[in-house]
């Protein structure tokens, strides 16, 4: 089964995808995490990706698509996979369909998360991520803070703020790019009949944990998170 996470940055895609991954045992495949790992290691891919990510721009398809295809070939992704941050545009979506078709697979479910824009910006500015690449747990200093300041509850590693999460202008630019290039995917997958839209907002009190729990009930029965 292949699940896609749609939604602007800061809507909670990583949180929902992480909960689903934990309970289903399927990998959470995040292009953002792969880019950041390569940037930290200063690989050729990382150097190229950094030119775009530092400006809040999307990494070109010629860098992104082959990387995703290779990741889907790995053994742990054969039973199921959760794509977080890919595809980002119609061209990538069409290419993903081709990649999956060659494997006899298809996109089974698309979870489209929405949130008020002012909440998204505040959420991103307060986001902290576990520096342990094997953990990558995400926290929010106001909504979901760690028990000990600056330390991951799960593995004890240091929590860090991503460089592209500290600049409000860059965040706004990323949201504008999403509206322009990624929002058409909502219509694309809606026409395929696999789209499920959920709003995550402090005002309604419905958070990522609630969305993940509902989806898990539908996929494999009544599974409680907590």
pTM score, whole prediction: 0.76
55 found inside a domain: yes
Q: How many CA atoms lie within 13 A of 184 on its CB side?
A: 10
Query: Catalytic one among 71, 88, 128, 136?
Result: 88
Annotated active-site residue 37? The verdict is: no
Residue pLDDT, tens place only, 66-108: 878 888 988 999 999 999 989 988 999 999 999 999 999 999 9
Query: Catalytic one among 117, 148, 154, 162?
Result: 162
Annotated active-site residue 127? The verdict is: yes
Nearest one of 109, 114, 93 to 196, comparing CA atoms = 109
Under a CB-based contact definition with an 8 Å cutoff, are residues 11 and 113 in contact?
Answer: yes
Please give the share of the chain, as a percent, with pLDDT higher than 90.
43
Query: Catalytic one among 123, 127, 128, 136?
Result: 127
Domain count, the chain: 1
Domain range for residue 11? 2-116+168-220
74 found inside a domain: yes
110 found inside a domain: yes
Annotated active-site residue 13? The verdict is: yes
130 found inside a domain: no
Nearest one of 55, 61, 30 to 164, comparing CA atoms = 55
139 found inside a domain: no
Query: Catalytic one among 13, 71, 95, 136?
Result: 13
18 found inside a domain: yes
- Looking at every residue in the chain, the average pLDDT score rounds to 88
Q: What is the CATH number of the domain that holds 43?
A: 3.40.50.300
């Amino acid at each position: 089964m292949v699940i896609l996470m749609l939604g602007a940055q800061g809507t909670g895609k990583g949180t929902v995808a992480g909960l689903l991954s934990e309970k289903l045992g399927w990998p959470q495949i995040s292009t953002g995490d792969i880019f950041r790992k390569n940037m930290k290691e200063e690989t050729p891919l990382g150097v190229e990706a950094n030119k775009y990510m530092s400006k809040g721009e999307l990494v070109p398809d010629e860098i992104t698509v082959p990387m995703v295809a290779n990741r889907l070939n790995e053994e742990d992704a054969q039973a199921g996979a959760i794509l977080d941050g890919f595809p980002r545009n119609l061209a990538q979506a069409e290419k993903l369909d081709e990649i999956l078709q060659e494997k006899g697979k298809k996109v089974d479910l698309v979870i489209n998360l929405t949130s008020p824009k002012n909440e998204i910006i505040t959420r991103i500015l307060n986001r902290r991520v576990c520096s342990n690449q094997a953990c990558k747990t995400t926290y929010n200093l106001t909504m979901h803070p760690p028990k000990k300041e600056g330390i991951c509850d799960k593995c004890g590693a240091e929590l860090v703020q991503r460089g592209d999460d500290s600049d409000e202008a860059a965040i706004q630019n990323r949201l504008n790019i999403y509206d322009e290039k990624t929002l058409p995917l909502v219509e694309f997958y809606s026409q395929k009949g696999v789209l499920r839209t959920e709003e995550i907002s402090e005002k309604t009190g419905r958070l990522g944990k609630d969305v993940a729990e509902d989806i898990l009930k539908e996929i494999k029965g009544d599974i409680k998170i907590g």
